């Protein structure tokens, strides 16, 4: 049967890269005695696939990966067993069973939520909220996007699905971004912030901001659905 697991990655674990996170969860499966299925062949490996790799330096409370198991206990029992083996900064948040015909998490990814804050309250300008709303109201937001083969100016405005500052009165405001994600249209929050700094006529300081991923979504009939909602809790 197919299982989808949601987890958080915070604190110093944000400095651990994606490949090491994969190896980490392979060990978690063994230590927590998850009856995970293995591939066949000369070098069998655990059947495990992650939704969307998280960049080094970013934290998250909405990461996902899928596994296949031969059998399983209840969701609450599996959460308990896995979290007993977790390192500080890692926590499994949900464990749900997927329909047999469900697509894997990676192929479903369509959008993601992010929160952006400024380190040590280092806002680049006094009225950061007002400037952000000026920036986001532009009909076109162009930025130089680099790939391995080329670089070109692209309009990222259509890829910003939602944005705002939930609490404008806060001493350290949080910028919310819902961005397109996945293999076809993918926009990183760092690119949005780079465009924002350029709009203000400032040099972009990547280490002046902190980014937290809040959720990852799939899309069905024009509606965005959190990846954990594709499954059901095992009683």
Predicted confidence at residue 121, as pLDDT, reads 67
Give the pTM.
0.92
Q: Is the pLDDT of residue 54 over 70?
A: yes
Q: Is the pLDDT of residue 159 over 80?
A: yes
**b/e 26-59 (16+ beta carbons within 10 angstroms → b):** eebbeebebebbeeeeeeeebebebbbebeeebb
Question: CA torsion 147→153→156→159, rounded to 10°?
Answer: -50
3-state secondary structure of 218: strand
Q: Is the pLDDT of residue 164 over 90?
A: yes
Predicted confidence at residue 196, as pLDDT, reads 95
Instruction: Express each pLDDT in 75-131 by its tens digit.
Output: 999 999 999 999 999 999 999 999 999 999 999 999 999 999 988 767 888 888 899
What is the average pLDDT value for the chain, to the nearest integer?
A: 93
Instruction: Express each pLDDT in 124-133 by its tens digit.
Output: 888 888 999 9
């Amino acid at each position: 049967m197919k299982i989808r697991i949601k987890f958080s990655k915070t604190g110093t674990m944000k400095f651990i890269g994606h490949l090491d996170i994969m190896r980490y969860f392979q060990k978690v499966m063994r230590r927590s005695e998850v009856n995970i299925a293995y591939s066949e062949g000369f070098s069998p490996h655990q059947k495990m696939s992650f939704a969307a790799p998280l960049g080094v330096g970013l934290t998250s409370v909405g990461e996902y990966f899928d596994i296949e198991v031969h059998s399983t206990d209840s969701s609450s029992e599996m959460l308990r067993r896995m979290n007993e083996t977790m390192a500080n900064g890692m926590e499994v948040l949900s464990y749900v069973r997927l329909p047999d015909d469900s697509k894997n998490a990676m192929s479903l990814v369509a959008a993601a939520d992010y929160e952006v804050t400024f380190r040590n309250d280092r806002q680049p300008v006094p009225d950061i909220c007002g400037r952000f709303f000026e920036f986001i109201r532009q009909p076109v937001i162009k930025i130089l996007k680099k790939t391995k083969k080329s670089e070109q100016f692209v309009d990222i405005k259509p890829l910003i699905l939602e944005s705002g500052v939930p609490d404008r009165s806060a001493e350290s405001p949080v910028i919310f971004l819902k961005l397109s994600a996945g293999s076809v249209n993918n926009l990183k929050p760092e690119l949005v912030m780079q465009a924002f700094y350029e709009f203000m006529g400032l040099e972009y300081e990547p280490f002046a901001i902190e980014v937290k991923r809040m959720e990852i979504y799939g899309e069905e009939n024009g509606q965005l659905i959190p990846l954990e909602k594709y499954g059901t809790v095992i009683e």
